[in-house]
Amino acid sequence: MNLLVELKESLTDAVVSRAAYYVDENPDKTRIALEGLIHTVVAGLMKRTTTEIGVNQLYNAIQKGKFDGQLVVTFPELIRDPEQTNRLAEQGSNSISHLLPAMKSAIGLAISGYAGIKNSAAITLLGLVTPLVLGTLNRLVIEKKLDADGLAVLLADQRDHLVETTPERLLDRIAEGLNIQQLLAVGVTPAKRTGFAERAPIPERQRFLPEPEEESNGSLVKWGVGALVLLALAGAAYYIWNNTQSYSSENEQEAFSTEFVDSTAIPPTDSARLRAVNSVRPDSAASTTLTSPAGASTTALAAYLTNPQLPAGKSFRMPTLDFEPGTDRLKPAGTATVEALAALLKNNPTAQIRLVGYANDAIPPMGNKALSINRVLAIKNQLIRSGINYIRVDAIGLGTGIKPGDSTAIGKPRLKQVDVKVVIK
């Protein structure tokens, strides 16, 4: 099912008009903001279900919280009454603060910039959209008899709908604001709960906690404990950051600044050494690369992988990884190149790569960012079908290669290519 479509069906003209009046904004801009918030909240909850804690919190909020399926039915009437609207917006704001900690401000900025409305209006509309989303999920949980894991799977299944239907300029804002570039590029793997039956239920008073800036003054003891917790979390976060690869905007910048190698060019010495390698490994991908156009595209990569003296980190442009215009369907030469790449990875079992895609030929309503993501995922899926472990292949789509609002990009080409970066040799 497409949850995004179902949620947007609740945004009738009457609902949008009343919401616009409530936040004192233009109705057309308010509709853009409300629809954008639906995409953003679903994306945020989708990310939340990638951790066990997130799965449990979301399920508790939906099953035992303040919003049920009946709220969706009564929503148009509720926002007719200013007092009811105030109460609904406040409850929704508290819920989103609990489910997506520290994300409310980022969402407000993303939507205000996207829809051209005040930041305060975007935050208020977020408070109204959240009950609508949670109420709809509550109804689906009851109708489909979903447990927490089933709910997580339902949200994970929205990833393709999110990429395909979200306007490109909003998708970029969501990806950056919620830090979900990885989920959009490689898909969503919902967490599985372990030992949930033995856990004590979450007390009612622990739900719907306000954001830190909204808390009332507490005792010194509470502040002291809070400070210790924050220090512990900061230490853990630093350790994770320092020991794992991130898919933040820093990595995205890295994709632009990496030294590239022409995949069809190779020094004679490396070529000779590669032929020597092929002579002892007749089944290698490199032997294919020397006899076919698709193989020629991976020749330099093969030489690089088999040279232990060269450090990891180089990227190789793959001209034959080409697609039918405006689609994620590989051309025959592209399919052959992926097969050669799969064979090469099999012969270098420790290697890990990152596919970096660019597109400039998207056909509306799809944007170039979404198309570039779909294309690298198509390559990754073919590699997986060829027997390559999905963990060995990262995938990032960067649209045209020009960030929105980048004034320095004037005159820069809008890229259409796929690069292969060697992350680990």
pLDDT at 251 over 50: no
CATH homologous superfamily of 249-424 equals OmpA-like domain (3.30.1330.60)
pLDDT (tens digit, 9 = 90+) per residue, 222-245? 455 565 656 666 565 554 444 433
Supply 224's token pair. 């002291």
Distances (CA, A) of 256 to 2, 147, 260, 285, 403: 34, 43, 10, 28, 11
Write out 281-292 in H/E/C secondary structure: CCCCHHHHHCCC
pTM of the predicted model, to two decimals? 0.51
pLDDT (tens digit, 9 = 90+) per residue, 143-170? 999 998 999 899 989 988 888 888 888 8
pLDDT at 379 over 90: yes
Residue 418: what pLDDT?
95
Residue 183: what pLDDT?
74
Residue 208: what pLDDT?
35
Residue pair 162/47 in contact (Cβ under 8 Å)? The answer is: no
Residue 188: what pLDDT?
72
Distances (CA, A) of 119 to 95, 130, 177: 19, 17, 14
pLDDT at 62 over 50: yes
Supply 109's token pair. 């900025």
User: What order of strands is seen across the sheet that includes strand 260-262?
Assistant: 260-262, 315-317, 417-424, 352-358, 393-397
pLDDT (tens digit, 9 = 90+) per residue, 174-184? 887 888 877 77
Residue owning tokens 């804002």: 173
pLDDT at 93 over 70: yes
What are the φ and ψ backbone dihedral angles of 147, each rounded to 5 degrees? -90, -175
**Residue 320 vs residue 288, higher pLDDT:** 320
Q: By C-alpha distance, which of 335, 327, 343 is closest to 294? A: 335
What mean pLDDT comes out for the span 324-352? 93
Residue pair 142/346 in contact (Cβ under 8 Å)? The answer is: no
35-39, 93-97, 99-103, 216-220: the lowest-pLDDT one: 216-220
Q: Where are the beta strands (DSSP E) in 92-213?
A: none
Residue pair 86/223 in contact (Cβ under 8 Å)? The answer is: no
Residue 270: what pLDDT?
39
Residue pair 313/304 in contact (Cβ under 8 Å)? The answer is: no
Q: By C-alpha distance, which of 131, 144, 148, 6 is closest to 63? A: 148
**Residue 172 vs residue 404, higher pLDDT:** 172
Q: With bands split at pLDDT 50, 70 and 90, how would you rate the model's confidence at 105?
A: confident
pLDDT at 58 over 50: yes
pLDDT at 417 over 90: yes
Distances (CA, A) of 298 to 97, 263, 292, 302, 338: 48, 6, 10, 6, 9
Residue 276: what pLDDT?
36
pLDDT (tens digit, 9 = 90+) per residue, 4-18? 999 999 999 999 999
CA angle, 243 then 245 then 247, to 5°: 145
pLDDT (tens digit, 9 = 90+) per residue, 339-378? 999 999 999 999 999 899 999 999 988 888 889 988 998 9
Supply 303's token pair. 């030489």
